[in-house]
Amino acid sequence: MEQLITHVDPSKHIRSLLEDKIHHAMHIL
């Protein structure tokens, strides 16, 4: 499913990855 999203719009995939890292960082803090 994620690969489909990457095919449609790579920038959206990158944004979701960034949001994932931000959420992870907030959990650490």
pTM of the model: 0.50
What's the whole-number average pLDDT of the chain?
80
- What per-residue string of b and e applies to 8-20 under the rule 16 or more CB within 10 Å gives b? eeeeebeeeeeee
With cut-offs at 50, 70 and 90, classify the pLDDT of residue 7: low
Supply the DSSP symbol for 1.
-
Note the Cα 14 to chain centre separation in Å: 5
Query: pLDDT exceeding 70 applies to what percent of the chain?
Result: 72
What is the rounded CA–CA span in Å between residue 2 and residue 16?
10
- Helix residue ranges, H only, 1-29: 2-8, 10-28
pLDDT at 9: 75
State residue 11's pLDDT score: 83
- Specify the pLDDT at position 1: 53
